[in-house]
Amino acid sequence: MKTKNLFLVSVAMPNYGQDQFISQAILGVLSQKADFEIELIVANDCSPDNTEAIVQEIIHTHPNGSWIKYTRHAENKGAIPNFAWSISQAKGKYIAICEGDDYWTDPLKIQKQVDFLEKNKDYSIIFHKVKEIDASGNQTDTNILNSPEEEQTYDLKHLTAGNFIHTPSVVFRKNFNELPPWIVYSPLGDYPLHMLNAQYGLIKYVPEEMAVYRVGNGVWSSQSRNHRIINTMFTVKLLTLHFFNHKEIYHLLSNRYKHLLESLTNHNKTLSPEAAAYKLSFKKLFMIIIKKMKHLIK
């Protein structure tokens, strides 16, 4: 009989207003078969729906309901602060993420990914192929992130060109005791998290489809093109501050910021009214953050 390993794996599940999906997300985690302990951190960001009752029902009736560490915030924190909070609660040697509208389809997903990280100490992150569906459950015609059909190894430099890791696919080593405080100001939660983790090792991709990502329901996939670009620019700017002393990464991020700005301009090299409004609002917010957070940017 195989004995369980002594270490813990944490799964962060931030959610808001996803009561129609949350059961499927939770059951995908509770179905995992592993030779280590698992904790599922369900962070309900004060949802005005039936999430509370659904989660409590699963806790009290599912054989693995004790895995769930459930919190309903008294006040709404916002998507990124709640995302960061759920990560900060993780006690595991490894951390996985499954937001409340996504779900896992392979009961051996976590075991496979943790086995790889246990055997390959020079890797910090492992992720895999996912299936993208719309809110109705139908497979999308085009994918937000295109995944190759063969295994790949990436590093921090590859990530500077853009995020290629689907949130419900990732497992990473807990490389930090706490996230840097500035991360809650980023309009993107998972991208700076992956950048921070990639400082500590390589990134492995496996072309095995083991999770589903729901397009159009989340904060990111429901945004307009210009809104996404501006949000990415803002996050890249924060990352340039973090990597200020890492000359190569700083240079790559700075160049990406310039290219993102160029992509917002029309044939007359001027910003569209929508893009100009977004850029102005984020520039003002960024300057406020710089003044308040200088001592926190490391």
Q: Quick: pLDDT tens for 138-167.
A: 787 777 778 889 999 999 999 999 999 999
Residues 146 and 229 in one domain: no
Residues ≥6 apart with Cβ < 8 Å to 144: 132, 213, 215, 221
Residues 127 and 32 in one domain: yes
Confidence (pLDDT) at 87: 95
Examine the pLDDT at 196 and tell me if it is beyond 80. Answer: yes
Task: List the beta strands (DSSP E) in 134-210.
Answer: 152-154, 171-173, 202-206
Q: What is the CATH number of the domain that holds 132?
A: 3.90.550.10
Residues 32 and 153 in one domain: yes
Identify whether 208 is part of a domain.
Answer: yes
Question: How many domains is the chain built from?
Answer: 2
Instruction: Examine the fold and report which residue of 186, 214, 242 is the final residue of a domain before the chain moves on.
Output: 214
Confidence (pLDDT) at 291: 61
Distance (Å) of CA 51 to CA 11, 132, 136: 18, 23, 19
Examine the pLDDT at 1 and tell me if it is beyond 60. Answer: no
Identify whether 58 is part of a domain.
Answer: yes
Identify whether 2 is part of a domain.
Answer: no
Examine the pLDDT at 267 and tell me if it is beyond 90. Answer: no
Confidence (pLDDT) at 20: 95
Distance, in Å, from the CA atom of 272 to the CA atom of 279, rounded to the nearest integer, reads: 10
Neighbours of 268 (CB within 10 A): 6
Instruction: Examine the fold and report which residue of 191, 214, 237 is the final residue of a domain before the chain moves on.
Output: 214
Residues 238 and 268 in one domain: yes
Neighbours of 154 (CB within 10 A): 18
Identify whether 200 is part of a domain.
Answer: yes
Q: Max alpha carbon distance in the chain (Å)?
A: 70
Distance, in Å, from the CA atom of 16 to the CA atom of 29, rounded to the nearest integer, reads: 18
More confident residue, 283 or 174: 174
Identify whether 219 is part of a domain.
Answer: no
Distance, in Å, from the CA atom of 189 to the CA atom of 197, rounded to the nearest integer, reads: 13
Closest CA to 82 of 46, 130, 53, 113: 46
Identify whether 44 is part of a domain.
Answer: yes
Residues 39 and 76 in one domain: yes
Per-position b or e across 81-118, b if 16+ CB within 10 A of its CB? bbbbbbbeebebbbbbbbbbbbbbebeebbbbbbeebe
Question: What is the band of 297 on the pLDDT scale with cuts at 50, 70, 90?
Answer: very low
Distance (Å) of CA 243 to CA 175, 192, 253, 254: 17, 11, 9, 10
Mean pLDDT of all residues in 97-106: 97
182: domain range? Answer: 8-214
Confidence (pLDDT) at 22: 98
Neighbours of 43 (CB within 10 A): 25
User: What ranges in 149-224 are assigned the alpha helix state H?
Assistant: 156-160, 190-198
Angle at the Cα of 14 from the Cα atoms of 34 and 201, rounded to 5 degrees: 60
Distance, in Å, from the CA atom of 127 to the CA atom of 96, rounded to the nearest integer, reads: 10
Mean pLDDT of all residues in 13-23: 96
Residues 157 and 205 in one domain: yes
* Residue 247: both structure tokens together: 């000359």
Residues 146 and 83 in one domain: yes
Residues 103 and 166 in one domain: yes
Angle at the Cα of 236 from the Cα atoms of 87 and 206, rounded to 5 degrees: 60
Q: What is the mean pLDDT of the chain?
A: 88
Per-position b or e across 269-288, b if 16+ CB within 10 A of its CB? eebeeebeebbeebeeebee
Residues 63 and 110 in one domain: yes
Could you tell me what percent of the chain has a pLDDT over 70? 85
Task: List the beta strands (DSSP E) in 122-219.
Answer: 123-128, 131-133, 152-154, 171-173, 202-206, 211-214
* Residue 88: both structure tokens together: 């900060």
